[in-house]
């Protein structure tokens, strides 16, 4: 692939580029993170109050290997199902703040599954990638009647969703037919963060970063029929925006069905927080992808 030549950045500038909270125009870096956590928590509390839920469903034997399922009241067995993978730089947040997007989707007859995984420092990158892959296998085994499987991930979760798309399923019992993937403000090449604060709890070596970078695993993309949406915030940092642009171009060059959404008037956090709103552009796009608009 033709990569854009990057002028090497000094460590301070690299850290600034990979600190999403420093690029929000709405409030200070500390405040935007606090507001983000509060928004996800309140959205998830509302979803748990108004939908049927199955909480802490195990998909493996590990402590962190659990799912929360938000179920529509519809009795039809043929419902689309979206698996949501949370952000938090592989070291914050959990499935317990990841049901916020469920209300507008469940109302339209979509099952929403929020996946927990072992964040750093307890979990490492190889383990997290293995966990989300196994969670997808488990969901398919538990919900065999779904009409279509979709992925949605934000930030670190978009990276993990992209790693699910680039899975060699021959080592699993099942090969999921993923119909769509919604990758929001993600990182698709892990090398630039190796020397930043982000890697301190992750402790990734270059080998680990390379084998877990979706931009380097294009030949393993298993679902040519999968519609992939790469979404990025207007006020994401230039490096975050470049990551999305380059991954989009790589997918397009590989002949995949992919579209690019540059979402105006959003930052790294509001771009995903607004999925609580059925009128929000990305909510409508996600429902349309699933044939539920």
Which residues are known to be catalytic? 155, 236, 268
What's CA 43's distance to the chain center, in Å?
17
What is d(CA 178, CA 171) in angstroms, rounded to the nearest whole number?
A: 17
CB 226 within 8 A of CB 176: no
Helix (H, G, I), strand (E, B) or coil at 53: strand
Contact indicator for 199, 172 with CB cutoff of 8 Å: no
Residue closest to 112 by CA, chosen among 65, 154, 146, 63? 146
DSSP code string of 200-229: HHH---HHHHHHT-GGG-GGG---TT-EEE
- The rounded distance, in Å, linking the Cα atoms of 271 and 236 is 9
Q: How many secondary structure helices (H) and strands (E) does the chain include?
A: 10, 8
Taking a C-beta distance cutoff of 8 angstroms, is the pair 134, 83 a contact? no
Tell me how crowded residue 185 is: count the other CB atoms within 10 A of its CB: 29
**Tokens representing residue 50 in the block:** 């108004």
Q: What residues pair up with 137 in beta bridges, in sequence order?
A: none
């Amino acid at each position: 692939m033709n990569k854009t030549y990057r002028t090497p950045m000094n460590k301070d500038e690299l850290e600034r580029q990979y600190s999403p909270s420093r690029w929000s125009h709405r409030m200070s870096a500390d405040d935007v993170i606090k507001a983000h956590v509060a928004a996800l928590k309140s959205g998830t509390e509302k979803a748990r109050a108004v939908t049927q839920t199955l909480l802490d469903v195990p998909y493996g034997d590990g402590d962190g290997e659990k799912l929360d399922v938000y179920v529509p009241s519809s009795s039809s067995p043929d419902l689309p199902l979206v698996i949501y993978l949370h952000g938090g730089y592989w070291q914050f947040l959990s499935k317990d703040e990841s049901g916020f997007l469920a209300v507008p989707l469940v109302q339209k007859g979509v099952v929403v599954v929020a996946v927990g995984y072992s964040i750093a420092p307890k979990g490492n990158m190889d383990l997290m990638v293995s966990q989300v892959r196994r969670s997808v296998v488990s969901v398919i085994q538990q919900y065999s009647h779904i009409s279509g499987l979709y992925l949605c991930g934000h930030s670190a979760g978009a990276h993990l969703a992209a790693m699910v798309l680039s899975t060699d399923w021959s080592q699993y019992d099942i090969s999921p037919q993923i119909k769509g993937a919604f990758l929001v403000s993600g990182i698709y090449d892990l090398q630039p963060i190796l020397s930043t604060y982000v890697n301190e709890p992750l402790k990734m070596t270059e080998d680990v970063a390379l084998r877990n970078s979706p931009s380097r695993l294009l030949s393993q993309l298993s679902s040519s029929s999968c519609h992939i949406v790469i979404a990025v915030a207007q006020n994401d940092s230039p490096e975050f925006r470049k990551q999305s642009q380059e991954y989009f171009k790589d997918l397009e060059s590989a002949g995949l069905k992919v579209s690019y959404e540059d979402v105006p008037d959003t930052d790294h956090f509001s771009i995903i927080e607004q999925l609580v709103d059925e009128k929000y552009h990305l909510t409508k796009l996600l429902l349309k992808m699933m044939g539920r608009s």
